[in-house]
Amino acid sequence: MCVNSTRCGQPICYPLTIANKQICPPKTSTTTTLRTTTTIRTISTTKSVTRTIATAQKTTTTTKISATTSTSSDWFSTGNMINARDYHTAPVLSNGKVLVIGGTPNDYSSLNSAELYDLSTSTWTITSNMINAREVHTASVLSNGKVLITGGRIDNLNYLNSAELY
């Protein structure tokens, strides 16, 4: 599974079963601070006053490096889906749950069912069915948190141009 990590600032890919671990490659951020020093020098004579103003900039660069490492990179078993399926989609929702949508249980039919996987509890729950059974479709998580499911097919002969929102 690959997600765009706001904490890391780049896509992170790892097995779904360890998605709840805080995994990020080392991140380096550089902060540059400019400090200005003003020096006023006054030279007095009887007839006139001369002022010289000198400005100097000192650049300070601070580099912060933070790294989080995983304790295990091995695969391990988690709970099974409620329905066996192939040719499905599984987008990660904004709440961290995984929505498994549609697919096919065999070579002859498609599913309209959907399931939610809760990573924190390793449990699957049935959620509402799609309007159309579909396989080989796309699913996109939108900026408002909704999921747009588009296209796909009902079987090897009947293709869909419909779209649904979850």
**Is residue 135 included in any domain, yes or no?**
no
Number of H helices, E strands in the chain: 0, 10
Per-residue pLDDT tens over the stretch 106-119: 988 999 999 999 99
What pLDDT is attached to residue 79? 87
State the DSSP code for 144: T
149 within some domain: no
Looking at every residue in the chain, the average pLDDT score rounds to 77
Identify the pLDDT of residue 75. Answer: 86
| Residue pair 71/86 in contact by the 8 Å Cβ criterion | no
Domain holding 62, by residue range, is: 29-66
Asked whether residue 36 is assigned to any structural domain, the reply reads: yes
The Cβ of residue 60 has, within 10 Å, a number of other Cβ atoms equal to 9
Q: Write out pLDDT tens, residues 23-37.
A: 445 555 555 555 555
Is 163 among the domain residues? no
Number of structural domains found in the chain:
1
Please report whether residue 62 resides in a domain.
Answer: yes
88 within some domain = no
What's the pLDDT tens digit per position in 112-152? 999 999 999 999 999 999 999 999 999 999 999 999 999 99
45 domain residue, yes or no: yes
38 within domain boundaries: yes
